[in-house]
Structure 1
Amino acid sequence: MFNYIVITPFFPSSNSFRGTYLLDQVKAIKSNSNYNLLVIILSPFLAKSEGEYFIEGVHCKTFKIIDFPSFILPSFFNKINIKRFQKFLKKNYIKVNSKSIIHGHINYPSLNFLDFFSRKFSCKTILQHHGLDILQRNTGINIPFLKSFQNKLILKRFIKLSDLITIHVAVSSVVKNNLIKINAKLEDKIYICINGVDISKFYIQKIKKNNNDKFTIGCVANFWKIKDQMTLLKSINILKTRGIDDLNVKFVGTGETRKKCIKYANKYNIKCDFIDQLKHSDLLSFYNQLDLFVLPSIDEAFGCVYLEALACGVPFIGVKNQGIEDVIKNDLKKIQLFKSGCIINLSKLIHHFYSNKIKIEFDNKYKIENTVKKLLNHINPNE
């Protein structure tokens, strides 16, 4: 019998590394408990999937859900999907009882399945929120009047079902605050679990940096407006106009603002490398070539990349009032955080790290095995 089931709309496979953090978390749950664990991936009905597979020792099965494109009418097919899901459980010999733990990720569609498990088996249910957009208002359909209708449906269902969840897990205090704004009744049910780092994957390598003596800054993020890579480029340009010409920026990511950033870098002759993507396993060597990591994101629930870089011995700079502020010591906030969009402020912080050899130690309490142990203790304090 599987007594710990993870429900998620995304998880790494041989064809995709989306959701790599979830894999690290699941592995940590397995290695720090006696649970027999299974991951069930909720995949769109027509999407290609791997069905049943194992990845790094984790057992995964795929359940295809019926839904409209861009979930225009969320939960419209819920009754049909739940009936199909019960057959799926029976066919795959997945037995659940009141002592089982069901750990879902992302509000929709996971919440519907958590509700099913809660009502059917009276077991503990967990819903983990990874972003500030709890209700996924920024995803789905883009037609304004349909989007408004869709958002109302999702909000109504979340208010109705979220109270029934045993524990809501937020990856930072800002995510917790957003949850409370939506449903104040959840405050006592929310547990903050920082996205810990697997230090077997991210650590300081004993290698020489091959950056030709340039001060190298890294940024790993999709090129979306909210990630605000342009603020980093403009800050570098300020330093360049002041005679600091030995800076090199390495960007990893793709997206809508990438061309604009490349155009700006070329126009002002800013030394940059634009890398489409890296395998998660290649990030170790990437971080170890950096002197500083900067992510100027203005809508960041947490940002695993900050702590991954720090675990590799690379200090980071982030934006004030974002999730990462939870892990920055008070006396370091003045050199690690800047006001959103303030290029002058950011340029000063970069110059501070450039001019001084500042070492910031990685705190072992953010090792994923430690954050997961605390989570497991919160779920079952008597075990």
Structure 2
Amino acid sequence: MKIGITCYPTYGGSGAIATELGIELAQRGHEIHFISYAQPFRLPHFMERVYFHEVETTRYPLFEHNNYSLSLAAMMHEVAIRAKLDLLHVHYAIPHATSAWIAREMLGDRYPLKIVTTLHGTDITLVGQERSYFDITRFSIQKSDGITAVSDYLKRETVDRFDVRADSIEVIHNFVEPRLYDRSAYKCHKDAFLPPGEMLVMHVSNFRPVKRIADVVRIFARIHKQVPSKLVFVGDGPERPVATAEADALGITDRVIFLGKQDSVAELLACADLLLLPSASESFGLVALEAMAAGVPVVATRAGGIPEVVEEDVTGHMGDVGDVETMADAAVSILADDRTWVRMSNAARQIAVERFGADVIVPQYERYYERVIAGDASAPAEPQLAAGGDD
């Protein structure tokens, strides 16, 4: 198949999954065309059967604001014709599914281009529910030939909030490449962060408010009182000052390390003893899966799609949102007992490989593409005329 993929190329779960999917599909013999404003950050400089098409926005005085959506549609249209694409796979409903629909309308009946839209989370739970975006988000979803969601939780949210038929959405979970996250493949760099005998607790995110960064610090402060350890933050974002202020207030500034954005997350996870993910909500919890693939137990909130990834008392523990004490106690129970840590580490790696490995998930996308191209995927419901956002 010849497949066009559009995603946000910057740091984030959707861009990472979209890029890894394209790489995996290319290795399986498909021709992949990435269409975006920048090369995806996880895309190597060259790969066989992988092409990148940069979208440039026109600088014209008439357009006071960025016209990326139209430029993207124009590039999708051009690539579809030149590369003879069978399908466009877009990640995030807006603006990507909207631009894909425009490109298909431009092609007309002479070129039966199919569109698959993958919903990742904030396009449904945050952006799409803004009143000004609600109707166009629903329209773009329902005009797709195929819709996938990365978790059962996200499917339910989409059905409930956007009046989309349940049988029109296929749940295909996020995945990992097991070899990339094999901790035995990396030299341990723990001595760069902490002395022998201490534990390394890690948090990886984009530091948005939904990640509850202050809770990460509060949980760790309680952990450190019972288990000598350090907290390593990977990533960056608007809530970083909150983390530094909380660490200072709790008197643990010397126990907290900020590494900023890092490309080699797998190598860093290979050093970790525990991942903290106390988010208010997660559509899936990709970083939890990546940690599990590296054999790292996870302590997280029982929120959104996380329970579909983390198995209670098997690969880690979960607590209610904001329940810092329960999550800290759970973390200590793992870190203070070698046998518990080894049991959970082994189970985490096994489940990540057997349930969420690329060899398991990518073929699901291939089969779904074939159904969409053949017209066998369930047809999305037609848009309703109710006022935007009023359920």
* TM-score normalised according to structure 2 size: 0.77
**What's the counterpart of residue 31 of structure 2?**
36
Q: Using the alignment, how far apart are the partners of 1:216 and 1:4 within structure 2?
A: 41
**What's the counterpart of residue 173 of structure 1?**
152
User: Closer, same or farther in 2 for the Cα pair 1:287/1:8, shift >3 Å?
Assistant: closer
Counterpart contact for 2:300–2:327, Cα < 8 Å: no
Q: Is 1:353 paired with 2:334? A: yes
Matched ranges for 1:358-377 at <5 A: 358=340, 359-360=343-344, 361=347, 362=349, 363=351, 364-377=354-367
Shift of 1:126: 0.5
Bigger share in helix:
2
Matched ranges for 1:102-181 at <5 A: 102-116=88-102, 118-119=104-105, 120=108, 121-134=111-124, 137=127, 151-181=130-160
- In structure 1, the residue corresponding to 2:267 is in which secondary structure? helix
Q: Using the alignment, how far apart are the partners of 1:95 and 1:278 within structure 2?
A: 36
Q: Using the alignment, how far apart are the partners of 2:123 and 2:173 within structure 1?
A: 17
Q: Is 1:217 paired with 2:201? A: yes
Matched ranges for 1:332-343 at <5 A: 332=314, 335-343=316-324
Structure 1 stretches of 5 or more lacking a match?
139-147
User: Closer, same or farther in 2 for the Cα pair 1:162/1:236, shift >3 Å?
Assistant: closer
**Equivalent residues, number:** 349
Q: Using the alignment, how far apart are the partners of 1:77 and 1:218 within structure 2?
A: 37
Shift of 1:369: 2.7
C-alpha deviations, 1:58-103, integer Å up to 9, x for none? Answer: 21101235699xx99999975x87567645655xx2334xxx1211
2:89 aligned partner, one-letter code: H
**What's the counterpart of residue 83 of structure 2?**
94
Greater mean alpha carbon deviation, residues 172-181 or residues 323-332: 323-332
Q: Using the alignment, how far apart are the partners of 1:320 and 1:17 within structure 2?
A: 19
- In structure 2, the residue corresponding to 1:341 is in which secondary structure? coil
C-alpha deviations, 1:259-297, integer Å up to 9, x for none? Answer: 232232234332111112212x3x233112111111111
* TM-score normalised according to structure 1 size: 0.79
Match of 1:61 among 29, 34, 53: 53
Shift of 1:232: 2.2
- In structure 1, the residue corresponding to 2:18 is in which secondary structure? helix
Shift of 1:203: 0.7
C-alpha deviations, 1:28-57, integer Å up to 9, x for none? Answer: 12223x4222111157xxxx999xx95444
**What's the counterpart of residue 189 of structure 1?**
168
**What's the counterpart of residue 233 of structure 1?**
217
Q: Is 1:273 paired with 2:257? A: yes
- In structure 2, the residue corresponding to 1:344 is in which secondary structure? helix
1:110 aligned partner, one-letter code: H
**What's the counterpart of residue 8 of structure 1?**
7
C-alpha deviations, 1:318-337, integer Å up to 9, x for none? Answer: 1112222112336648x521
Matched ranges for 1:323-334 at <5 A: 323-329=305-311, 332=314
Shift of 1:123: 3.3
User: Closer, same or farther in 2 for the Cα pair 1:166/1:122, shift >3 Å?
Assistant: same
Counterpart contact for 1:287–1:312, Cα < 8 Å: yes
Q: Using the alignment, how far apart are the partners of 2:178 and 2:141 within structure 1?
A: 34
Matched ranges for 1:242-281 at <5 A: 243-244=225-226, 246-270=228-252, 271-279=255-263, 281=264
RMSD, matched Cα = 3.6
Shift of 1:257: 2.3
C-alpha deviations, 1:152-205, integer Å up to 9, x for none? Answer: 442222333422212211111221122112323331111112111112321122
User: Closer, same or farther in 2 for the Cα pair 1:108/1:197, shift >3 Å?
Assistant: same
Q: Using the alignment, how far apart are the partners of 2:152 and 2:56 within structure 1?
A: 33
Q: Using the alignment, how far apart are the partners of 1:49 and 1:232 within structure 2?
A: 29
